[in-house]
Amino acid sequence: MKRTLVTLFLAVFLIVLAATAVSAYEHDPRLNPAAMKDIIVNPDAVYGFSPSPDGSLSSYAEFDWTDPDLVNGENGRLARIAYHESINEMYILLDDMRAEGLGTEEIARAVSTKRNEIRLAAYDGDPDGLAVAKARNLEKYGHEEGPLPDELFEQYGSWEEVIWKAFSANPGMDACLGLYDDYYPLYVASGMIEEEEDQQASREYAAAVLAESFGLNAPAGDDSGTAFSDLNQVSGWYAASINTALSAGILRGYEDATLRPDRTVTRLEACVLLARCLSDGTAGNQEADLPGVPEWASAEIAYLVSEGIIADAAGIIWDEPISVAEFRALIRPFVVPST
């Protein structure tokens, strides 16, 4: 049964889309720049991502990320889970301090200090190993306990970075190992990213997700994007899907031959993109004069009205920005979940 867009815009739940790169996750790793600087979209990988040969995880790039037994085994996912469990005290500390409303610097100082304590506590019952660890810290940092918070701040440049470095919680590795959703709250709590309910959907994100979710494919050798002067501003992990969206006519540029990929999508633009997918490109044949709808979008909105997807076009605030969560809720009824 179709639902009206007025209802859909009020929905804020998250969904799993039938998108090759994100089908394993409720939360999209591509919205996390800290993750994507170290990994690449890999549709053949077990969880849709693998380490980039150019990132900080490059030593893992040759691992066979398409083999479920290896990826999920004791040297992969299981080892990563064990690591996270070993620093559970830090997660508890982080949650407690966030609940108390404490600031990022206070939290960073506390968790980095706790990290030093956990490292030394690991040598409980091993006095020789503890002595070696303290000597190593003394030589490297000038004190036995390990790096001090101010030293870490100087090294990494921000208290947010100090927090997630203390956890060694590389979100890219978590994405490669099927753990991104499990530790998503950590990325939010540490200040690495905003909640997806608070992140606004960009043109490149919306167009890429639609191209993937509707199973569109660009013809071999298609160069639809070359006409746009700012094509190089498209994030690398969206590039292939954006080319497909352009080839299919889902995403179109502006009169000045720009794409403006990072521009926030409005409700109107989101509906236009969806209408182009649902109508297989025929929405442009509609004729309509709808109050409050600009001429460039009138055909697509008229199509949605004619299909009963929009009940009252006049009742929608079209220029309102749409969040990632709202965009996913909008397209959910029309996307067949992956199996």
So what's the pLDDT on residue 286? Answer: 61
Which two tokens mark 191? 């200040």
Cα-Cα-Cα-Cα torsion 324, 330, 335, 336, nearest 10 degrees, comes to 90
Q: Is the dihedral of CA 124, 125, 128, 131 positive or negative?
A: positive
Scanning the structure block, which residue is given the tokens 């996913």?
328
Residue 19: is its pLDDT beyond 50? no
Percent helix, strand and coil across the chain, each rounded to 5? 55, 5, 45
Residue 272: is its pLDDT beyond 80? yes
Length of the chain: 339
CB–CB of 199/57 below 8 Å? no
CB–CB of 269/319 below 8 Å? no
Residue 68: is its pLDDT beyond 90? yes
Average pLDDT for the chain: 85
So what's the pLDDT on residue 188? Answer: 86
Residue 81: is its pLDDT beyond 80? yes
| Residue range 212-230: mean pLDDT, rounded | 77
Which two tokens mark 232? 């190089």
So what's the pLDDT on residue 101? Answer: 92
Q: How far apart are CA 78 and CA 82, in angstroms?
A: 6
For every residue of 1-37, DSSP letters joined together read ----HHHHHH-------S-TTTTT-SS-GGG-HHHHT
CB–CB of 93/111 below 8 Å? yes
Q: How far is Cα of residue 320 from the mean position of the Cα atoms in its chain? A: 22
So what's the pLDDT on residue 226? Answer: 74
> Which amino acid, residue 32?
N
pLDDT band with cut points at 50, 70 and 90 for residue 285 = low
Residue 3: is its pLDDT beyond 80? no
Query: Bigger pLDDT: 111 or 19?
Result: 111
* Residue among 32, 60, 2, 310 nearest 187 (CA): 32
Query: Bigger pLDDT: 214 or 291?
Result: 214
Which two tokens mark 156? 């990494």
Residue 9: is its pLDDT beyond 60? no
* Residue among 15, 1, 2 nearest 326 (CA): 15
> Which amino acid, residue 182?
D
So what's the pLDDT on residue 233? Answer: 92
> Which amino acid, residue 139?
E
* Residue among 2, 1, 36, 41 nearest 19 (CA): 41
Which two tokens mark 53? 């040969």
Residue 78: is its pLDDT beyond 60? yes
So what's the pLDDT on residue 290? Answer: 78
Residue 203: is its pLDDT beyond 50? yes
Helix (H) and strand (E) counts for the chain?
Answer: 16, 2
For every residue of 35-57, DSSP letters joined together read HHTTEEE-TTSTTSEEE-TTSTT
So what's the pLDDT on residue 76? Answer: 93
- Using a pLDDT cut of 90, give the percent of the chain over it: 46
So what's the pLDDT on residue 164? Answer: 79
Residue 206: is its pLDDT beyond 90? yes
pLDDT band with cut points at 50, 70 and 90 for residue 293 = confident
Residue 274 DSSP SS3:
helix
Residue 12: is its pLDDT beyond 50? no
So what's the pLDDT on residue 287? Answer: 64
Q: How far apart are CA 128 and CA 195, in angstroms?
A: 45
| Residue range 132-142: mean pLDDT, rounded | 91
pLDDT band with cut points at 50, 70 and 90 for residue 225 = low
Q: How far apart are CA 43 and CA 46, in angstroms?
A: 8
CB–CB of 32/186 below 8 Å? no
173-186 pLDDT per residue, tens: 999 999 999 999 88
So what's the pLDDT on residue 182? Answer: 93
Classify residue 185 as exposed, middle or buried by CB count within 10 Å of its CB (0-12, 13-18, 19+). Answer: middle
232-246 pLDDT per residue, tens: 999 989 988 899 999
Residue 106 to residues 3, 109, 159: CA-CA distances in angstroms?
46, 5, 9
| Residue range 316-332: mean pLDDT, rounded | 90
Q: How far apart are CA 22 and CA 197, in angstroms?
A: 17
| Residue range 41-55: mean pLDDT, rounded | 92
Residue 2: is its pLDDT beyond 60? no
243-266 pLDDT per residue, tens: 999 998 899 999 999 999 999 999
